[in-house]
Amino acid sequence: MNTDDFETILNEDTTTRSGAFRLWVAVLLDAVLTLKGERVGSRELAKSFIFDAGNVFLDLICGEMNIEPSLFRKHLEQELLASQRIAIWRSQSRQQNAQVSSIP
């Protein structure tokens, strides 16, 4: 999920072009990118915005995009976990490479 995905959705349907709707999409995109580590921001605020089951704004955005909010959250959570696993693997690889290169 990236900025282009949201732009495509917003430009396909005239009902998603209102200023208020676009603002909430921008807030959602910012939260997603913050959680993915692509933007600087409060990860806790981003997480609470997206994963709060009572967030009517996320429900509204997902509804307009014909996406089930629970599926959106589940997919994002899986993507975040995969990103964390990759980061851990990279960190471990760097440590192993540093240890090997320090052997005379």
Q: What is the pLDDT along the chain (104 residues), one digit of tens a residue?
A: 555 665 665 566 566 567 888 888 889 999 999 998 888 889 899 999 999 988 888 988 888 888 899 999 999 999 888 887 877 887 888 777 776 666 66
Q: CA end-to-end span of the chain, whole Å?
A: 45
Non-local (6+) Cβ contacts of 1 within 8 A are 32, 75, 76, 79
Q: What is the pTM assigned to this prediction? A: 0.67
The string over 72-81, giving b where at least 16 C-beta atoms fall within 10 Å of a residue's C-beta and e elsewhere, is bbeebeeebe
Residue 37 is part of which domain span? 3-101
Q: What is the DSSP letter of 2?
A: -
Q: How many domains does the chain have?
A: 1
Instruction: Give CA–CA dist 27/99, Å, rounded.
Output: 43
25, 10 Cβ separation under 8 angstroms: yes
Rounded (10°) angle between helices 3-12 and 19-35: 160
Instruction: Give CA–CA dist 24/17, Å, rounded.
Output: 11
